[in-house]
Amino acid sequence: MPELPEVETVRQGLADVLEGQRLVAVSARRPDLRFPIPADFQSRITGRRVASVGRRAKFLLIRLDGDLVLLSHLGMSGSFRIFSGEAPPLQPHDHIELQTGAGVTVRYHDPRRFGFVDLSAAEDTSVHPMLAKLGPEPLEANFTGRYLASQLRGRATSVKAAILDQRVVAGMGNIYACESLFRAGISPRRTAATVVGKRAEALVSAIRDVLAQAIGAGGSSLRDHRQPSGELGYFQHRFAVYGCAGQPCPGCTCDLASSGGVRRIVQAGRSTFYCAKRQR
DNA sequence: CCTTCTCCCTGCAAGC
DNA sequence: TGCTTGCAGGGAGAAG
In this prediction, residue A251 carries a pLDDT of 87
pLDDT in tens, A152-162: 999 999 999 99
Let me know if A56 is a catalytic residue. no
Question: Using CA atoms, how far apart are residues A263 and A280, in angstroms rounded to an integer?
Answer: 14
Provide the residue ranges of all domains of chain A, joining segments of one domain with +: 4-127, 145-275
Find, among A135, A211, A129, A119, the residue nearest to A168 by Cα: A135
| Closest nucleotide to A92: CA versus each C1' | B10
* Strand B atom within 7 Å of A195 CB: no
**pLDDT tier at A1 (50, 70, 90 boundaries)?**
low
Beta-carbon contacts of A9 under 8 Å, excluding residues fewer than 6 positions away, are: A215, A218, A219, A227, A228, A233
Through-space separation of residue A262 CA and nucleotide B12 C1' in angstroms: 24
CB contact at 8 A, A274 and A178: yes
Beta-carbon contacts of A226 under 8 Å, excluding residues fewer than 6 positions away, are: A79, A81, A232, A233
Q: Which entry of A11, A58, A183, A263 is annotated as an active-site residue?
A: A58
In this prediction, residue A241 carries a pLDDT of 95
In this prediction, residue A226 carries a pLDDT of 76
Q: How far is C-alpha A166 from the geometric centre of its chain's CA atoms?
A: 11
* Strand B atom within 7 Å of A189 CB: no
CB contact at 8 A, A176 and A210: yes
| pTM (two decimals) | 0.96
Burial zone of A183 (CB within 10 Å; 0-12 exposed, 13-18 middle, 19+ buried)? buried
Architecture field, domain A145-275: Orthogonal Bundle (1.10)
- Show which positions of strand B are touched by protein (CB under 7 A): 2-12
Through-space separation of residue A49 CA and nucleotide C6 C1' in angstroms: 45
pLDDT in tens, A120-171: 999 988 999 999 999 999 999 999 999 999 999 999 999 999 999 999 999 9
Question: Using CA atoms, how far apart are residues A81 and A112, in angstroms rounded to an integer?
Answer: 17
pLDDT in tens, A197-238: 999 999 999 999 999 999 999 999 887 677 888 888 999 999
**pLDDT tier at A68 (50, 70, 90 boundaries)?**
very high
* A14-47 burial code (b ≥16 CB/10 A, e <16): bbebbeebbbeebebeeeebeeebbeebeebbee
In this prediction, residue A104 carries a pLDDT of 97
* Strand B atom within 7 Å of A47 CB: no
Mean pLDDT rounded to a whole number for chain A: 94
| Closest nucleotide to A171: CA versus each C1' | C10
Q: Is the pLDDT of residue A253 over 90?
A: no
Q: Which CATH number fits domain A4-127: 3.40.50.300, 3.30.1490.20, 3.20.190.10, 3.30.420.40?
A: 3.20.190.10
